[in-house]
Amino acid sequence: MAHGHDFSRLGHYTGRQLMLFYRAATAIDRRARAARIADVNLGFAGGKDAQRALRELED
């Protein structure tokens, strides 16, 4: 199950439901990808900002 849906049930969705699911799922994936890019950029930049961000994630 991903994005809150059971993929075995997608065959029972209407066309509109599939489009809404696809749009929501790709939006979630795009935000996650943007966050990963920002994290990698921060990690390579290093310094106090990277240390602070890591501490915030670990708390």
pLDDT tens figures, 1-34: 678 878 888 899 999 999 999 999 999 999 999 9
| Residue 8: per-residue pLDDT | 86
For 56, residues 6+ apart whose C-beta sits below 8 A from its C-beta are: none
In a domain, 2, yes or no: no
- Residue-wise pLDDT tens digits, 34-47: 999 999 999 898 89
> Could you tell me the pTM of the whole model?
0.71
Report phi then psi at 50, rounded to 5: -65, -40
Domain range spanning residue 16? 7-58
Q: How many residues does the chain have?
A: 59
Residue in this structure with the two tokens 């290093």, named with its chain if needed: 46
In a domain, 39, yes or no: yes
In a domain, 54, yes or no: yes
